[in-house]
Amino acid sequence: MTVRRTQVRRQNPAYRPATAPYSCVVMRRDHRVVSFAKNACTCAVLAYSTASCARPIVPRTIPPVVLTPAPPPMEIAPVLAVIAAEVRDARYDVRSIARVTSDSAGRPIEQRITTSGVVTIALQRSADGAFRGSGRVDSFTVQMASEALRLDSVVFDAILDVTSLRVVTRPSLVNECDRAETSATALAREILLRVPSAVQVGARWVDSTIAFVCRSSVPIAVRTVNDYVVERIDSREKNTMVHVRRAFIVRMDGKLASPWRPLEVSGVGSGAQQIVIDAVRGAVQSLNGASTITLQLIDRSRASSARAQRVVQQVELKIERRP
């Protein structure tokens, strides 16, 4: 006897074939079975969603960030500039402007003095910076308000040793007081520097010198203490420029023991200069500076009372090396 499905469904409405490809059974939370017809894809998705909702949510673990330490900075070797020991005929334009203020009977008197010249120097340095050299000052001029002084050429010798800087004319003068030749050689003194054979940035050295000059017939000892510091070094393809700052203090003492006019001179001063040195040629390339010196002059020609006069001298100095 063949039983048709239609008959079975009529007798049992809940009947579903075991191999029904389009049926799906889902267990509800109240443990009731719900069966309904769906296609295979819907049943699979529903089953996966039900299983997914049943699993606990596991938080995602983020791995910690590991910071790699930076490498230590590279040590850069300091630039060492070797200063040439020999200077061959370096030629300079030197210009000095002095503003002199003095008091006379309670009234200030101001005067402007411009000094210029062309200085040529050749020298040989030793390892400690001392040197021997020679040179010439050409076209020397001193210009004041009312008069001018000119000198064509002066030859000189220069020696810088441990304690003193000597610049003397050739031939030597019998009396150096108030001579135009000694004023001309004073321009060369500013270019004659004590420089070590090799320097680097931050290098520092100190020296002191004693020089003797004569002004207004008064022999004066000039003591100078120089403090040098290398601020930077510019290395180029063909040359190396060393930038040096020089600060200095000056003390001046002199006395004229004349029976008709005894005179005493004392003074102190200070200044600073920016100097550029060509290490390859060993010569100063440029120099710019300023200084102030205060002098006290005491005239003891009167037995009853001494007369004092105060003189302030402010100087601007500019030196440029010619090509």
CA atoms within 13 A on the CB side of 269: 22
Q: What percent of the chain has pLDDT over 70?
A: 78
22 lies in some domain: yes
Q: Are residues 26 and 163 in the same domain?
A: no
Are 49 and 86 in a shared domain? no
Q: Is 163 helix (H, G, I), strand (E, B) or coil?
A: coil
* Residue 11: per-residue pLDDT: 53
Any idea which of 119-128, 185-194, 218-227, 302-311 has the lowest mean pLDDT?
A: 302-311
Model confidence at 51, pLDDT cuts 50, 70, 90, reads very low
- pTM of the shown model: 0.73
Is 302 a domain residue?
yes
Q: Is the pLDDT of residue 52 over 50?
A: no
Residues 85 and 163 in one domain: yes
Where is the domain boundary, 13, 37, 54? 54
| Rounded Cα–Cα distance for residues 187 and 91 (Å) | 12
Question: Is 93 found in the same domain as 26?
Answer: no
SS3 249: strand
* 223 and 107, same domain (yes or no): yes
* In a domain? residue 273: yes
Considering the domain boundaries, does residue 14 fall inside one?
A: yes
Q: For the chain, how big is the Rg over CA atoms in Å?
A: 48
47 shares a domain with 97: no
With cut-offs at 50, 70 and 90, classify the pLDDT of residue 302. confident
Asked whether residue 168 falls in the same domain as residue 206, the answer is yes
Mean pLDDT of 35-54: 44
Structural domain count, the chain? 2
- The answer to whether residues 101 and 241 belong to one domain is yes
Residue numbers of the domain that contains 40: 5-54
> Dihedral (C-alpha) 215, 217, 218, 221: value to the nearest 10 degrees?
50
Q: Are residues 210 and 114 in the same domain?
A: yes
